[in-house]
Copies of this chain bind each other. A is one copy, B any other.
Amino acid sequence: MKTLSPLQQERLKYQPKLPESLKAGINKLVCVEKEKTEAVKDKEQIKELFAKTYGQAIVEFAVGTEEKASGIKNVGVILSGGQAPGGHNVIAGLYDALKQANKENKLYGFLGGPSGIIDGKYVEFDDKFIDAYRNTGGFDIIGSGRTKLETEEQFKKSLEVCKKLNISAVVIIGGDDSNTNAALLAEWFVKHDTGIQVIGCPKTIDGDLKNDQIEVSFGFDTATKTYAELIGNIQRDANSAKKYWHFIKIMGRSASHVAVEAALQTQPNICLVSEEVEEKKMSLNQIVEDMCKIICKRAENGKNFGIVIVPEGLIEFIPEMKDLISSLNDLTHELESDETYQNVRSEEKFKIIASKLNENNAKLFMSLPALIKAQLLMDRDPHGNVQVSRIETEKLLIEMIRTRLNELKDEGVYVGKFSDQAHFFGYEGRCAFPSNFDADYCYSLGFNAFALINFGLTGYLSSVKNLIKPAKEWVAGGVPLTMMMNMEKRHGEMKPVIQKALIKLDGKVFKELEAMREEWAMNDRYLFPGAIQYFGPSEVCDLTTVTLQIEHA
């Protein structure tokens, strides 16, 4: 029986590229302090909450003139939240740097996400262990989890585990929420004089953890390229068969970065943008109407096919749906123990729900297809909220469009034939073999995380910048986590959190999409990116994302 695929065997041999500074060696680095920082918003509150770690300076690494010996630093590492390609390389980079600094150093991996550090479940890495995971996708090296590290009790337990293992620093690889937790833990460790440092690494395929200092989170590159491969293939199919409208929903949570990047790589006929829908207060009907216009116009030109990209979070950004979903969250909670409601069939349930909603919401709810009504009522997350990723927005749009097109056909406006195919891509891209970019970037982030540790820093996010240039020109350093924070309402309470980056309608990326989309809609400007290439011409296999190129060109 085979144990490794041919590509996996080859990728294990790949040596990721490092920025020139880090390449010089961990013990030759000097740490250069740059400007002091402030929180992005709510400065006073953040300062108060992070009395010990607030306002630190941005740092960058340069190569010093002499090599210094490093003392012993044991480190524990955690993978937190959803998978993103490259997580294994962060750990490999961290491991290599730590061993390079001092062979006696130990790296522990906490198992199953943040719960690993609380429950003291861990492994110790050695060369053989790490080597089996270099340049591979997935988080299976130690597993991941979604436990939030935020209570006093959790911090205390974590401290005990760290003491037991003589750990002097914890690296948390995660998205905005996990890095918010990293900031809290860092502050708590300083406040309690534990001497334990905390460093974060920016992970998420969603691309919403970015700002002036963090150009992109890792995994975004590989995931978007994987989705773009599939969209491109489907476009070529649509353009060959000329008989289907493909509606492709793409993962990415609230933000539309993934959808927009995939669109820039493939040039589909339509790409919806959640942030635009919200800002322009577009109703569901208006979205459908706009799409029908394009479908009708293409049908006039004999084109009864096309490609629509739908960001996963869309439904929550449609003002009327947002309101409905929020009412339904309360209502279904209220009806949880109502036996009459629980024991009737779907159709009856819908009526009961409608009778308890306000007029607008009731009308909207009853106008939705049965499938969507059921999905809105069925799937709740542990907090009692609708799981938007499980609502088939793509099918909702298809149903509404079909109904509207039938009307337009009766009016003589629509002359075509509407056949649909629905797709949802998410899990396909989160664990792909990291692209060369993500392999290099992640390895650098991990290596760099240890450099930050070695200089005694805490409450920092590992940062590697200048990413549109070749790796040797990348700039390695650290960004204080508190500078990205502001106060936001979570579960009814104001909390310090890292600000999520959404698509800005006045930003360069959206402008680019906006400028081209009319052309894309009517004339088929499909691009076919194909599968991610790991070998071969540099123009093919070392590319960054279009978003990164536009934002940092």
Task: Tell me the minimal C-beta distance from A13 to chain B in angstroms.
Answer: 9
In chain A, positions 367-390 with a C-beta closer than 8 Å to chain B are 370-371
Contact A529 B233 (CB under 8 A): no
Task: Tell me the minimal C-beta distance from A398 to chain B in angstroms.
Answer: 13
Q: Which of B9, B237, B371, B529 is the one whose CB lies under 8 Å from A427? A: B237
Task: Tell me the minimal C-beta distance from A392 to chain B in angstroms.
Answer: 11
Interface membership of A477, Cβ < 8 A: no
Interface membership of A143, Cβ < 8 A: yes
Task: Tell me the minimal C-beta distance from A421 to chain B in angstroms.
Answer: 6
Report B-chain residues with C-beta under 8 Å of the C-beta of A527: 2-5, 8
Interface membership of A114, Cβ < 8 A: no
Instruction: State A430–B235 Cα separation when bound (angstroms).
Output: 11
Contact B237 A138 (CB under 8 A): yes
Interface membership of A229, Cβ < 8 A: yes
Q: Which of B3, B8, B539 is the one whose CB lies under 8 Å from A6? A: B539
Instruction: State A527–B7 Cα separation when bound (angstroms).
Output: 10
Known: A144-B241, A525-B3, A540-B7. A236 touches B138 (CB 8 A): yes
Report the contact-size class of chain A (Cβ under 8 Å from the partner): 35 or more
Interface segment out of the listed A31-39, A349-357, A530-538: A530-538
In chain A, positions 7-56 with a C-beta closer than 8 Å to chain B are 7-11
Contact B143 A242 (CB under 8 A): yes
Instruction: State A241–B430 Cα separation when bound (angstroms).
Output: 11
Copies in the complex: 2
Against B, the Cβ 8 Å flags (1 = close, 0 = not) of A106-144 are 000000100000000000000000000000111110011
Task: Tell me the minimal C-beta distance from A260 to chain B in angstroms.
Answer: 15
Instruction: State A286–B540 Cα separation when bound (angstroms).
Output: 49
Report B-chain residues with C-beta under 8 Å of the C-beta of A3: 525, 527
Q: Which of B82, B240, B429, B516 is the one whose CB lies under 8 Å from A144? A: B240
Contact A428 B230 (CB under 8 A): yes
Instruction: State A540–B9 Cα separation when bound (angstroms).
Output: 9
Known: A1-B516, A226-B233, A531-B433. A539 touches B10 (CB 8 A): yes
Contact B233 A530 (CB under 8 A): no
Contact A536 B535 (CB under 8 A): yes
In chain A, positions 69-125 with a C-beta closer than 8 Å to chain B are 82-83, 112
Can you report 22 A-B residue pairs in the complex whose CB atoms are below 8 A from each other?
Answer: A1-B267, A2-B527, A5-B529, A5-B530, A7-B528, A7-B529, A137-B233, A137-B528, A138-B240, A138-B528, A139-B241, A143-B242, A226-B233, A240-B431, A246-B427, A346-B370, A433-B528, A433-B530, A433-B531, A531-B534, A535-B535, A536-B536
